[in-house]
């Protein structure tokens, strides 16, 4: 067991040494892998920041319930109580026809013209705010159906289309992120695989000797797997550094922009989960690329007499 | 014991390197394979080292029928052999110590044991003290001795050598052969393919003479066909 572990340690140190002895080639390979991993990481961070920055949007979904003109205020209050008791409703505000007219007069700029009206044309209304976890299209549709079923109700208006569009854009971005991650992951596999293929070719004599003295395929493959993992890890660390630097550079301007809009929003950095994900992806892709290359190219190398 | 029973080896290009060759080598015996270039000497060694498989016939090494040996058992089998080449096949970017240690590393030896055995092997071939040197810093004869140390460090039961003295002057060739003899003396089966009849005569071991892939004779006395192998 000690011998086995020692060989793992030797393989790791040997792989590190070989990478260090060819700094330029190693740096270029790590750079390519780093860029390939940085792009989905940056895109993921962009989506996360967009969701965070607009997190209040889902709370801004409004549902307006307009009652028929002959519905008394006392009945409106009763119905408001019933809606408050319903799950998925965060707040209910009763707006009387008089209150609505007053606000309209105040904010519309038609105050003088409105004084000419013989009666108040506005209905009593409820203004609902769904709970944040009840703003999905299905939840809102269910609420609309519930409210529309009341005979006193004339119109239910759900102001959610822009939220749905926004959510659709975020969903599209997440899908693009997934596709980009798959394509760029395949790119990392190709880069690592090709690099390992070249290394196998360069160490052909050594591989032949190792096989001749009884080295198993696993033994021969091990240093290449470590090399692949080191490339992947190096690329992942570089990707983290690149995206982290970009976040640092952008944080102040984004905060300034947010302040101009009256928001205290601050750009999110790369979280622990994302760091773990990118490091894991780098290690995993490096290992897989090296394994595939080793499986393909070691097969044909047998010792010569 | 090594047993060849009517072994034929035909290469993909159609050349028959061995034709129904049969012979046996006892455990702990030292044997020279002699014959012209292309006579089939190296093919015999390749078959023993499982670098090639016979087209027909049976090769048995230490009771193991190599024809039935599965690929996954090949590394373990090869660890029972020591192989020496004319061109040494040393790893030029590794010091002598690492070159010699390779079979032990492959076998998963513990570091303390590895150090002890590598030093013992280097001591046997007279290279103790040169373990930190790179192969290209050594003479040809020393490089050959590193190759021998690597072949014996794993305490193989069979030691095979293909033209081990081909690049050495007569004095060095005799030194190298004395090393092989010392390994035979401790029970290792030693098989040496060589053109060097001077060395063969000097050591007086059994010879197996090959010609055109066939066994022409075997024995300790000078064989009539041996003059043709010069």
For residue range B36-89, list pLDDT tens digits in order.
888 899 999 999 999 999 999 999 999 999 988 998 899 999 999 999 987 788
pLDDT of the residue at A6: 79
Which stretch of A63-72, B6-15, B213-222 has the lowest confidence by average pLDDT?
B213-222
| Higher pLDDT pick, A158 / A150 | A150
pLDDT of the residue at A253: 92
For residue range B114-163, list pLDDT tens digits in order.
999 999 999 988 899 999 999 999 998 899 899 999 999 999 999 999 98
Query: Which has the closest alpha carbon to B160: B71, B36, B62?
Result: B62
Q: Which two tokens stand for residue B127?
A: 């290279």
pLDDT of the residue at A60: 64
Question: Residues of A249-271 as b/e, b for ≥16 C-beta within 10 angstroms?
Answer: eeeeebeeeeeeeeeebebbebe
Cα B89 to Cα B92: distance, rounded to the nearest angstrom: 9
Label residue B226 by pLDDT band (50, 70, 90). Answer: very low
For residue range B153-169, list pLDDT tens digits in order.
999 999 999 988 877 77
Interchain CB distance below 8 Å, B78 and A3: no
Contact between B133 and B95 (Cβ < 8 Å): yes
Token pair 């034709």: residue = B19
Dihedral of the alpha carbons of B219, B220, B223, B229, in degrees to the nearest 10: 100
Task: Find which of A199, A214, A220 to mutate to test the B interface (most B CBs within 10 Å of its CB).
Answer: A214
The model carries a pTM of 0.74
Spell out where A131-286 has E strands: 153-159
pLDDT of the residue at A139: 86
| Closest Cβ opposite residue A213 in set B52, B106, B111 | B106
Interchain CB distance below 8 Å, A213 and B42: no
pLDDT of the residue at B224: 44
Between the CA of residue A81 and those of A61, A74, A93, A99, what are the distances in Å?
20, 11, 10, 19
Q: Which two tokens stand for residue A167?
A: 């959510």
Label residue B218 by pLDDT band (50, 70, 90). Answer: confident
| Closest Cβ opposite residue A219 in set B42, B106, B154 | B106
Label residue B197 by pLDDT band (50, 70, 90). Answer: confident
pLDDT at B228 over 60: no
For residue range A231-242, list pLDDT tens digits in order.
999 999 999 999
Which chain A residues are Cβ-neighbours of B91 within 8 angstroms? 205-206, 209
Which stretch of A75-89, A113-127, B16-30, B141-155 has the lowest confidence by average pLDDT?
A113-127
Cα A129 to Cα A142: distance, rounded to the nearest angstrom: 14
CA distance A4 to chain B (A): 6
What's chain B's average pLDDT? 88
Using CA coordinates, name the residue in chain B closest to A10. Answer: B105
Cα B183 to Cα B206: distance, rounded to the nearest angstrom: 16
3-state secondary structure of B80: coil
Counting beta carbons within 10 angstroms of the beta carbon of residue B58, is it exposed (0 to 12), middle (13 to 18) or buried (19 or more)? middle
Cα A72 to Cα A284: distance, rounded to the nearest angstrom: 67
pLDDT of the residue at A165: 79
Task: Calculate mean pLDDT across residues A168-172.
Answer: 85
pLDDT of the residue at A305: 60
pLDDT at A117 over 80: no
pLDDT at B195 over 50: yes
| Closest Cβ opposite residue B110 in set A3, A205, A210 | A3
pLDDT of the residue at B225: 46
Label residue A109 by pLDDT band (50, 70, 90). Answer: low
3-state secondary structure of A20: helix
Question: Residues of A96-112 as b/e, b for ≥16 C-beta within 10 angstroms?
Answer: bbeebbeebbeeeeeee
In order, the DSSP letters of A82-144 are HHHTSTTEEEEEEE-HHHHHHHHHHHHS-HHHHTT-SS--PPPEEEEEE-GGG-SHHHHHHHH
Which chain B residues are Cβ-neighbours of A4 within 8 angstroms? 108
User: Percentage of residues in chain B with pLDDT exceeding 70?
Assistant: 95
For residue range A95-105, list pLDDT tens digits in order.
998 888 888 87
pLDDT at A224 over 90: yes
Between the CA of residue A110 and those of A105, A117, A125, A227, B114, what are the distances in Å?
6, 11, 21, 75, 97
Cα A129 to Cα A89: distance, rounded to the nearest angstrom: 6
Cα B168 to Cα B179: distance, rounded to the nearest angstrom: 14
Label residue A55 by pLDDT band (50, 70, 90). Answer: low
For residue range A245-280, list pLDDT tens digits in order.
999 999 999 889 888 877 778 888 899 999 999 999
pLDDT at B112 over 90: no
Using CA coordinates, name the residue in chain A closest to B71. Answer: A216
| Higher pLDDT pick, B171 / A86 | A86
| Closest Cβ opposite residue B106 in set A205, A214, A304 | A214
Contacts of B36 (CB under 8 A, 6+ apart): B211, B228, B229
Query: Which has the closest alpha carbon to A305: B72, B50, B64, B131?
Result: B50
Q: At what angle do helices A23-53 and A272-297 cross, to 10 degrees?
A: 140
Cα A88 to Cα A240: distance, rounded to the nearest angstrom: 39
Strands across the sheet with B206-211, in order?
A: B81-84, B158-162, B189-193, B30-34, B206-211, B214-219
């Amino acid at each position: 067991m000690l011998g086995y572990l020692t060989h793992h340690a030797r393989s790791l140190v040997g792989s590190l040494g070989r990478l260090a002895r060819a700094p330029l080639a190693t740096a270029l390979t790590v750079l390519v892998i780093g860029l390939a991993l940085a792009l989905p990481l940056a895109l993921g961070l962009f989506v996360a920041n967009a969701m965070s920055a607009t997190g209040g949007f889902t709370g801004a979904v409004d549902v307006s319930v307009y009652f028929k003109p002959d519905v008394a205020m006392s009945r409106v209050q009763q119905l408001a109580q019933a809606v408050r008791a319903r799950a998925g409703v965060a707040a209910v505000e009763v707006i009387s026809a008089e209150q609505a007219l007053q606000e309209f007069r105040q904010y519309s700029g038609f105050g003088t013209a409105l004084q000419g009206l013989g009666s108040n044309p506005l209905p009593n209304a409820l203004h609902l705010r769904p709970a944040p976890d009840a703003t999905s299209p299905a939840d809102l549709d269910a609420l609309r159906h519930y409210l529309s079923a009341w005979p006193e109700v004339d119109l239910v208006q759900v102001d959610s289309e822009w939220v749905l569009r926004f959510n659709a854009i975020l969903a599209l971005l997440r899908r693009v992120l997934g596709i980009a991650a798959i394509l760029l992951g395949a790119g990392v596999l190709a880069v690592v695989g090709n690099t390992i293929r070249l290394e196998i070719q360069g160490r052909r004599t050594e591989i032949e000797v190792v096989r001749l003295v009884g080295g198993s395929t696993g033994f021969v493959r091990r240093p290449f797997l470590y090399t692949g993992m080191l490339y992947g890890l190096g690329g992942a660390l570089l990707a983290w550094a690149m995206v982290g630097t970009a976040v640092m550079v952008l944080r102040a301007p984004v905060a300034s922009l947010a302040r101009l809009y009256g928001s205290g929003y601050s750009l999110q950095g790369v979280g622990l989960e994302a760091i773990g994900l990118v490091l894991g992806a780098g290690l995993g892709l490096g290992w897989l690329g090296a394994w595939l290359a080793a499986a393909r190219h070691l097969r044909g190398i047998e010792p010569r007499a | 014991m090594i047993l060849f029973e009517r072994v034929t080896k035909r290469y993909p290009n159609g050349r028959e390197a061995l034709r129904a060759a049969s012979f046996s080598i006892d455990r702990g015996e030292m044997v020279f394979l002699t014959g012209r270039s292309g006579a089939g000497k190296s093919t015999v060694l390749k078959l023993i080292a499982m670098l090639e498989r016979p087209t027909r016939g049976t090769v048995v090494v230490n009771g193991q029928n190599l024809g039935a040996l599965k690929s996954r058992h090949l590394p373990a089998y090869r660890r029972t052999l020591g192989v020496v080449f004319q061109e040494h096949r040393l790893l030029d970017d590794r010091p002598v110590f690492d070159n010699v240690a390779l079979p032990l590393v492959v076998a998963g030896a513990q570091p303390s044991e590895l150090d002890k055995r590598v030093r013992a092997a280097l001591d046997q071939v007279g290279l103790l003290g040169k373990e930190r040197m790179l192969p290209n810093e050594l003479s040809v004869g020393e490089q050959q001795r590193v190759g021998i140390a690597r072949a014996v460090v794993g305490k193989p039961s069979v030691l095979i050598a293909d033209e081990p003295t081909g690049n050495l002057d007569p004095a060095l060739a005799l030194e190298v052969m004395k090393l092989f003899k010392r390994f035979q003396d401790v029970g290792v089966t030693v098989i040496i393919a060589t053109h060097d009849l001077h060395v063969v005569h000097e050591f007086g071991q059994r010879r197996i003479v090959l010609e055109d892939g066939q066994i022409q004779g075997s024995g300790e006395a000078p064989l009539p066909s041996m003059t043709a192998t010069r």
